[in-house]
Structure 1
């Protein structure tokens, strides 16, 4: 199970890294023209960049605390925060066009993050 949790953490970190880079460093107008990025048309530049920075921090928080063994409890905390972020992402996609494939993708990420939070808070905790 420990290996599965590491794989999930790595996958979610990669997703967060790609999403964070695109939101933090790609122009909002370009994002609005991509599939699934239509919601950025109605959001401020500051909001989109803030989400990008939060996703970059999530990418680090899902991996680094456990790797360097400094406050590894941040891994499940970050995963729990990712669950909340994915709920917001699903609601946003539904409100701005209801692209079912992006809602389903966000639901998948939510389930993986919930599994990671459960596993690292519970049976495969870094502190036990």
Structure 2
């Protein structure tokens, strides 16, 4: 199960590093035109904040465990992604973007598995 948790964390880290970097580097108008229509409803600062949090979570899923420096941060990073995905689900539900909700639910469940595993039976301290 430890290997499964590493794989899930790695996939989540890659996905959120890419998504977060895009939100940090692209203007919100370009993001809206490229399929992130929800950005039309929020300020540019909020888009950048979400992008920054996604990049930090991606780093937090991998780096603390690899360096063995405060590996307890791994489940906290995953918990942060769970919260971000809850916000994404609410936003997409309000906009009636049902296809996006499915993706958010999958990402939420994957992050929740990492939270469960790393806080629970497969923590780095045991």
Give the Cα separation in 1 of the matches to 2:30 and 2:92. 17
Aligned residue runs from structure 1 range 74-93, under 5 A = 74-93=73-92
In the other structure, the counterpart of 2:104 is 106
* Structure 1 residue ranges (4+ consecutive) displaced by more than 4 angstroms after TM superposition: none
| Backbone CA RMSD of aligned residues | 0.8
Query: Is residue 2:56 matched to residue 1:20?
Result: no
In the other structure, the counterpart of 2:7 is 7
* Pairs aligned (count): 126
Deviations 1:32-80 (A, max 9, x none): 1122x11111211111011111111011000000000000000001111
Q: Which runs of 5+ in 2 are unaligned?
A: none
Deviations 1:80-124 (A, max 9, x none): 11111100001111112x222210000000000010000011111
Give the TM-score of the pair, scaled to structure 2: 0.97
Give the TM-score of the pair, scaled to structure 1: 0.95
In the other structure, the counterpart of 1:43 is 42
